[in-house]
Amino acid sequence: MYTPKTNWILFTFFGLAVVGIFVAALLVPSFRAVAYAPLRELIFPPPAPIQLSVLYSTEKEAWLNEVVAGFESSGIRVDGHPVQVELEKMGSWEINNAVIDGTRQPVIVSPASSLQIAALQDASTAQFGQSLVNPADTTSCRPVVTTPLVLVAWKERADVLWGHQPGEALWKDLHDALVDPSGWAAYNNPDWGYIKFGHTDPLKSNSGFMSILLMTYGYFDKTSGLTASDILTDSGYRQWFLETEASIGQFEYSTGPLMQKMVAYGPSTFDMITVYEATAIEQAENALGRYGELRVYYPPALLWSDHPFCVLNADWVSPEQAKAARLFMDYLTGRPAQELALLKYGFRPVDESIQLEQTGSPFARYADNGFIADLSNRPEVEIPAGNVLNILREFWSRNVTR
């Protein structure tokens, strides 16, 4: 039986509990959810959001913008704080430069490829005495979507040059065709003029750098073990490489504009170019009915643009930001975001349970254009050490830049 004394004790206990919850809510944001909502909103200001700054490569802009909106509206919290993502797009190599020279201090960097992460690891160790990234730690550095580098060509021209698919000597055969002063006349088509090949600027764009790396591996007939000595001391390679690059009139700053120019102006500008598979998918519809059939060709050894997201090991990154960054990466690799990347934007998911040829997939829709879903039987080239990558960029800069 309740008595006035009992009621007083319960009332006191309840009052102390309420006060305790509000004090805890004031001191610890994660307790605010259990505080009485009307009073909570009246007394306590909403917890400040954790700012998650991301420097990312431009190729995934549309997908990221859509996914970030879903992430921020999902209600994900870190110690009671919402997370606010701040996106800033840059060229992949510009990201590295901005971090090394201190003009940007992001929480996450996401270039187009692990090539830049390897180079950043080497450059930041030299600059700061320790690496700002740790690609071996998959909790803080991991790919979120992938797409290989491919050749895109007008089918009529490609059939004359190499038939259905380029062979193992693709890069050497391409060099020989490009440097032949007879151009297409050597293939009984003088009206086509010179053979026109293009890739982006390797100092600015990841796809351009991937192109010259694949060319270099192709010259040495290997898929691993590329060294600085290969680049710097082999005179035959240097001549071969510079002859190939001399045939290119202009290097576009980014992959998207290069692909758009090929579709817009046709073989009068380019017979073939190197771009990402996802970029080719993006423009496949626009190319229909313009200058004949536009087809995709896969190099004899693949190099993947794997879009890593890496949390920086830097003094400007707080533990709360690092935790928020990992939750964001989990969201990006979750099934909804991965299926969106495939079905709407043409990227290959890192979630291998997602079928590439499902209904609505671009790999089913554009199979007749040469897109191949299953590339598991094709060799891949090894990503060289960071110092080798930096030497290859410097070699291009010293000898080709224009």
Query: Is 112 found in the same domain as 173?
Result: no
Query: Is 176 found in the same domain as 260?
Result: yes
Asked whether residue 383 is domain-assigned, the answer is yes
The pLDDT assigned to 18 comes to 45
Asked whether residue 355 is domain-assigned, the answer is no
Query: Is 25 found in the same domain as 110?
Result: no
Query: Is 190 found in the same domain as 247?
Result: yes
pLDDT at 401 over 90: no
Residue owning tokens 């919850």:
21
Q: Are 274 and 341 in contact (CB under 8 A)?
A: no
CATH of the domain at 166: 3.40.190.10
Q: What is the rounded distance in angstroms from the CA atom of residue 68 to the CA atom of residue 402?
A: 37
Asked whether residue 260 is domain-assigned, the answer is yes
Instruction: Write the DSSP symbol of residue 380.
Output: B
Q: What per-residue string of b and e applies to 6-35 under the rule 16 or more CB within 10 Å gives b?
A: eeeeeeeeeeeeeeebbeebeeebebbeeb
Number of structural domains the chain divides into:
3
Q: Which two tokens stand for residue 196?
A: 């026109």
Query: Is 253 found in the same domain as 167?
Result: yes
Rg (CA), the chain: 27
Measured torsion, CA atoms of residues 120, 124, 126, 129, in degrees rounded to the nearest 10: -150
Query: Is 138 found in the same domain as 14?
Result: no
Q: What's the whole-number mean pLDDT along residues 94-117? A: 95
Strand stretches in 208-290, DSSP E? 272-276
Query: Is 18 found in the same domain as 85?
Result: no
Tell which residue, 296, 254, 301, 257, has the closest CA to residue 277: 296
| Higher-pLDDT residue of 365, 15 | 365
Considering the chain, what is the average pLDDT of its residues? 89
The pLDDT assigned to 34 comes to 46
pLDDT tens per residue, range 296-323? 999 999 999 999 999 999 999 999 999 9
Asked whether residue 228 is domain-assigned, the answer is yes
Query: Is 231 found in the same domain as 163?
Result: yes
Q: What's the whole-number mean pLDDT along residues 252-268? A: 91
HSE at residue 110, side-chain half, CA atoms within 13 A, is 31
Query: Is 186 found in the same domain as 223?
Result: yes
Q: In degrees rounded to 5, what are phi and psi of residue 72?
A: -70, -30
Query: Is 135 found in the same domain as 100?
Result: yes
Asked whether residue 394 is domain-assigned, the answer is yes
Q: Are 339 and 359 in contact (CB under 8 A)?
A: no
Strand stretches in 18-144, DSSP E? 50-57, 77-78, 81-90, 108-110, 141-143
Q: What's the whole-number mean pLDDT along residues 153-157? A: 93
pLDDT at 2 over 50: no
Query: Is 132 found in the same domain as 10?
Result: no
Residue owning tokens 């088509």:
189
HSE at residue 151, side-chain half, CA atoms within 13 A, is 27
What angle is formed at CA 357 by the lines to CA 355 and CA 360, rounded to 5 degrees?
A: 105
Q: What's the whole-number mean pLDDT along residues 280-309? A: 90
Q: What's the whole-number mean pLDDT along residues 164-179? A: 89
The pLDDT assigned to 36 comes to 45
Q: Tell me the residue range of the domain where 32 lies.
A: 4-43
Q: What's the whole-number mean pLDDT along residues 201-225? A: 96
Q: What is the rounded distance in angstroms from the CA atom of residue 92 to the CA atom of residue 126?
A: 20
Q: What's the whole-number mean pLDDT along residues 346-364? A: 94
Query: Is 293 found in the same domain as 316?
Result: no
Q: Are 36 and 24 in contact (CB under 8 A)?
A: no
The pLDDT assigned to 91 comes to 86
Final residue of a domain: which of 12, 27, 43? 43
The pLDDT assigned to 9 comes to 52
Residue count of the chain, please give it.
402
pLDDT at 35 over 50: no
Percent of the chain with pLDDT over 90: 76
The pLDDT assigned to 23 comes to 46
The pLDDT assigned to 103 comes to 96
